[in-house]
Structure 1
């Protein structure tokens, strides 16, 4: 048997994302024949995406290291190291990192959400422009292109 896809850490695309965080594309829809996307966030305290939902995919987050608050609808939960959360499509959600740093694994099915990160994020192999920040308009555009709906500001 052969492995359909294999990429070592140095071969995985890394993108700068919100608040200077890094998002690594571990598996994308091309590598999985559209079945899923797997990504990994390296984030600092306070990193929080806008309150949003996804119309195309279900999402799983596993906190490999650190702590976070997670919102699903109006309910708030604490997520500790090793904790996992399943967020079906169309469920409004967000999170906020509460530890100094966090290592967060994301799995989305079907694949394709990585396009949103590629559309608005900055490839970490390119030089960083002074004061780089993802404009809200670009974040909203990327979300809309990939089936996301921004519902409000970060929590």
Structure 2
């Protein structure tokens, strides 16, 4: 049996993201010939991206540990428990808010490419963190636009 691509932990890129959270690029579109992106978020209580939708990819989230409130479309928030999984088709507005002290989320997006947004706006943690560094709202908005994300409103 052959392995088409294996990314050991030391080969996975870790990016600083919203609120000091991290997004690790486990498999990117280059490794999967554009088929998918697999990433992992390590986040703290209260972390919440803007309410948004993806125009280019479908997304799956698996909550490895922790709890979160999840909004999809016009639906009321639902509590996502540890081990819960959600499928979010492209063009469906959604958002989440972490309700546990910490959470670990696995994200799969297909087709691949969304990692470009995280790389454009995030900070590679393998480089020294500049004093006073903050993720720029302007750069995050530009990255979202560049990679087909539509911000629909503030975090919920």
Provide TM-score, normalisation by structure 2.
0.97
Aligned to 2:23: 23
The Cα shift of 1:103 comes to 0.3
Deviations 1:11-35 (A, max 9, x none): 1000000000010000100100100
Deviations 1:21-78 (A, max 9, x none): 0100001001001000000000000111001000000000000000000111232111
Q: Secondary structure at the match of 1:119?
A: helix
The Cα shift of 1:133 comes to 1.6
Aligned to 2:12: 12
Alignment of 1:14-93 (within 5 A): 14-75=14-75, 76-93=77-94
Counterpart Cα distance in 2 of 1:61 and 1:117: 16
Counterpart Cα distance in 2 of 1:141 and 1:132: 18
Q: Secondary structure at the match of 1:141?
A: helix
The Cα shift of 1:4 comes to 1.1
Counterpart Cα distance in 2 of 1:5 and 1:99: 34
Counterpart Cα distance in 1 of 2:133 and 2:54: 26
Counterpart Cα distance in 2 of 1:34 and 1:106: 16
Counterpart Cα distance in 1 of 2:130 and 2:45: 23
Unpaired runs of at least 5, structure 2: none
Counterpart Cα distance in 2 of 1:138 and 1:96: 22
